[in-house]
Structure 1
Amino acid sequence: MDFSIIVPAFNEEKRIRACLESIKAQHTAHSYELIVSDSGSTDGTVSIAREYTDKVVVCKEKGTARARNEGAKLAGGDILVFIDSDTIVSPDYIDTVARAFKDPRLLAASCAFKFTRRSPKLLGAEYVTNAYYVLRSAFHAATLPGFNVCIRREAFEKLGGFRLCHLEDLDMSIKLRKMGRTKYLPRRVVVTSSRRLEQDGVLGTLKYYGDLFEASQGRRLGFEPVKLGESKFDDYVHRE
């Protein structure tokens, strides 16, 4: 098996079908499997997932990192691909990633993204974020956003999977780039939800992730992106 695509989910019945359909619609000669790892959804998420795959695991405890790790235990692929349930991938996603992994030194990669909504403010945030990630990657300090991240199995297992913490994708990025080569791919083959930005705004989102970084890494940024109230963390970016 070339790729195992793992989708962590929690109460995502409104969005997960589009995600799973986009994964099933891959135009590729590479072999891949689909795994859904649910964190005890109380809506129809699990029922929808079972329409698309027999590999559905329901975790006893909630948490994005835990769900990703539990899904990885069922995986048989050489490359583990983690796609969030509110994210849609283009039909050439696997082939785009596969070309990058022809470099045997590459341990992990993420692809550039578009937001679901196309307002001027969101388009600006989308452009700036992608440009920032591409620039970091060029200087061998890639940040790999968890809504789409691909990791060689050997590297994932050597690190013991995702740490059970907030912002576990950034935590994994830091560990992987210390271990070897990682890359942010500039092709925008992913469409992801803009719901946090829509609800919290750009400044509120910066504050949220800045606080998460400090909480997960046990160190201060040295500055406050914005002066707002204390952030209330959740394990899933789950907003109505």
Structure 2
Amino acid sequence: MISVIVPSFNEEENIAQCLVSLSHQTIERSEYEIIVVDGGSTDKTCEIARKYADKVFIQTSKKVGGARNDGVMAAKGDIIASTDADCILPPYWVERVKKDFSDKNIVQVYGPVYPIEDSMGNHFSLLLANTFSRIGYYSRTFYYTLGCNTAFRKDAFLRAGMYRCIDAGDDLEIAMRMKDQGKIRFDGKLKVGFSMRRYQQYGTFKSLYEWLYIVAHGGESQKYAYTQKKYNK
């Protein structure tokens, strides 16, 4: 079985489209489960999630990495797939994850993203991010993995120590430990619709600068907050 983990926080505007896309996949629903781990939402996120997910519960660990870890510990599957509550998954996504792990040597798989909000600026921004991912992977210098589009073998993920509970960069840092457990694969066909709302509301350069600042300071910062942002409806 494949377990899909979806962290959430005040996502009543977006989580339905995410979970609907996950509910309409090209493999049988009995082959995967959907787990929503909520960060204490004050809106109707959990109420909406319960209509689609197999499990919905409040996280006990800290931050987004902790939410994903809590989901893994509650998961039945030996393959863990991770995405975000404001993403849209193509119908072949879970099946593609399953196919990638047919190679027993693979311990982690990740793929590119495309913007949900269709504009030239958004496409250009993610083109750069996806190019960065490919360069890192094919040069074998680093793995630019994103928590919204990655999957693991559960046993290898546990051996690696799971996600660090930090403010930013947890999804990038985990790959550095996973590579010691086996092979990591970049799958260009494993695509996910990615929301650009953070960059549209707070600015692309400002958002990237804050992310880089936090990562450069070991993933934690008192100066900037990267998670649990408030967005205009």
Query: Do they superpose with TM above 0.5?
Result: yes
- Asked whether the equivalents of residues 39 and 61 of structure 1 are also in contact (C-alpha less than 8 Å), the reply is no
- Asked whether the equivalents of residues 214 and 224 of structure 2 are also in contact (C-alpha less than 8 Å), the reply is no
Deviation at 1:235, TM superposition (A): 2.7
- Asked whether the equivalents of residues 22 and 89 of structure 1 are also in contact (C-alpha less than 8 Å), the reply is yes
Structure 2 counterpart of 1:25? 24
Deviation at 1:94, TM superposition (A): 1.3
Structure 2 counterpart of 1:12? 11
Deviation at 1:112, TM superposition (A): 1.2
Structure 1 counterpart of 2:42? 42
Give TM-score, length-normalised by structure 1: 0.88
Structure 1 counterpart of 2:55? 55
Higher fraction of strand: 1
1:136-194 deviations in Å (ceiling 9; x for gaps): 11123322101121011011111232111122111212221243321222126310110
Unmatched segments (≥5 aa) in structure 2: none
Give the RMSD, CA atoms, in angstroms.
2.0
- Asked whether the equivalents of residues 97 and 190 of structure 2 are also in contact (C-alpha less than 8 Å), the reply is no
Which has the higher mean CA deviation after the structures are superposed, 206-215 or 81-90?
A: 206-215
What is the count of residue pairs matched by the alignment?
Answer: 228
Are residue 158 (structure 1) and residue 159 (structure 2) matched? Answer: yes
Structure 1 counterpart of 2:177? 175
Residue type at the aligned position of 1:100: D
Which has the higher mean CA deviation after the structures are superposed, 158-167 or 148-157?
A: 158-167
Unmatched segments (≥5 aa) in structure 1: 219-229
Question: Which aligned pairs between 1:166-205 and structure 2 lie closer than 5 A?
Answer: 166=167, 167-187=169-189, 189-205=191-207
Which has the higher mean CA deviation after the structures are superposed, 9-18 or 65-74?
A: 65-74
- Asked whether the equivalents of residues 107 and 152 of structure 2 are also in contact (C-alpha less than 8 Å), the reply is yes
SS at match of 1:88: coil
- Asked whether the equivalents of residues 166 and 219 of structure 2 are also in contact (C-alpha less than 8 Å), the reply is no
Structure 1 counterpart of 2:100? 100
Structure 2 counterpart of 1:223? none
Aligned equivalent of 2:228, options 207, 212, 236: 236
